[in-house]
Amino acid sequence: MPVSSRVSHFSKDQPLFTHVVENRPLSTPESEKDTRHFVITLAGSGLTYQAGDSLGVVPTNREAEVDELIERLQTTGGEAIRLPRGTETLPLREALQRRLALAGPTRRTLEVLLNRTTVPAERSRIESLLSPGTDELLERYLEERHFVDLLADFPGVRLAPQEFVDLLRRLTPRLYSIASSPRLHPDEVHLTISVVRYTANERERHGVCSTYLADRVALGETPVMVFPVESHFRLPEDPARDVIMIGPGTGIAPFRAFLQERAATVASGRNWLFFGEQRRAHDFLYENELEAWRASGHLARLDLAFSRDQEERIYVQHRMRESAAELWRWLAAGACLYVCGDAKRMAKDVEAALHQIVSAQGGLSPEAAADFVKQLKKDKRYQRDVY
């Protein structure tokens, strides 16, 4: 049976329990990042996916953070609590470990704490954070803190476990673009994840799901809950169409899937990849695979932008501009263009570069170039998977 026609019954509410079977670094220890390749086994599960889909992963919180919360709440963790906006009851520790988000306190959290501290100095500190005209200060204060930091900042606060739980949101699954094609890896899902670790407010911070997979899941042992999420991000139906893929950083993930898919289906269209990262020696994710595809011609073009290998920053959109004429020829001949990765800066700058290229190479006014790009989107020849 063709892979795409099988229906998978797994979902957020009915995830697959499986294992991570591989966790290997893609960046070197000298890199400023810790980007990893994970393999999750699907063997015997019936879970199916298509190139371009994402995988939902249900994480758990760090035990050290849960322990500290329980200690600061001066409880045992065994108290039965009710999950917010629901009727399900379970022990506090389990709820903190598996069901509740421990990051993201809000103004309302501080408003509640204000009425729960008996210490005058703490009251006035909270009042000054909430006072009118200090929005920026408050925003920065909250951004740098998890709930446990607020309890540490205001030890005079007294909250019953249920009152504390009522301040929290549910822990939600994280979605990652799948980095493998089911035609090549029907029994596996591959993920490309940059492990989020940084310091804020003098504490080490850990991205919930990336450090869950990197640090807290034992290979082949810890049960992990995953489910496929169907995407709009799809290769062209016509295998003869050319594709242009722009995927710096972890944005490479779905393009590794696309390239595997196009190799497995012997698609005759050409493939052009723009990839960027900080340093060639430390951050060239999937270097061997990409270079092999370039050598074999499966990648007609591989344009690389290592931003920090020279004084001035060079990004994928600079490489696009350098090859503007060729890029326009591909587009004018019907190529599909895909962008994946950082939404805030990269995707915007790449879109601006695309407009300029279309305008300059196509001899179009900025308005006509904008219409051209709009039409590309409508025709599903310009698709984005940005986060």
Which residues contact ligand NAP (rule: CB under 6 A)?
33, 194, 248-250, 276-278, 307-308, 313, 315-317, 341-346, 349, 387
Q: Report the nearest approach of ligand NAP to the CB of residue 308 (Å).
A: 5
User: Could you write out the three-class secondary structure of 281-335?
Assistant: HHHCCCHHHHHHHHHHCCCCEEEEEECCCCCCCCCHHHHHHHCHHHHHHHHHCCC
Among residues 87 and 310, whose Cβ is nearest to ligand NAP?
310
Please name the residue that has the structure tokens 């407009």. 355
- We find the least distance from the C-beta atom of residue 361 to ligand NAP, in angstroms, to be 20
Tell whether the torsion through CA atoms of 303, 313, 175 and 383 is positive or negative: negative
- The minimum distance between CB 255 and ligand NAP, in angstroms, equals 13
What are the angstrom distances between the C-alpha of 352 and each of 2, 277, 345, 348, 370?
39, 20, 11, 6, 10
Comparing CB distances to ligand NAP, the nearer of 219 and 343 is 343
CA-nearest of 310, 382, 377, 386 to 345 is 386
Tell me the C-alpha distance between 67 and 6, whole Å.
44
Considering the complex, state which of residue 277 and residue 385 has its C-beta at the smaller distance from ligand NAP.
Answer: 277
Strands 271-277 and 243-246: parallel
Least distance in angstroms from the C-beta of 98 to ligand NAP: 24
Distance (Å, whole) CA 98 – CA 113: 24
Residue nearest to ligand NAP (CB): 249
Terminal-residue alpha carbon distance, the chain? 33
For ligand NAP, the closer CB: 92 or 346 = 346
Longest dimension (CA), the chain: 73
Q: Minimum distance between the CB of residue 66 and ligand NAP, rounded to whole angstroms?
A: 25
Q: How far is the CB of 235 from ligand NAP (least distance, A)?
A: 22
Pick 94 or 342: Cβ nearer ligand NAP = 342
Q: Would you say 94 or 351 has its CB closer to ligand NAP?
A: 351
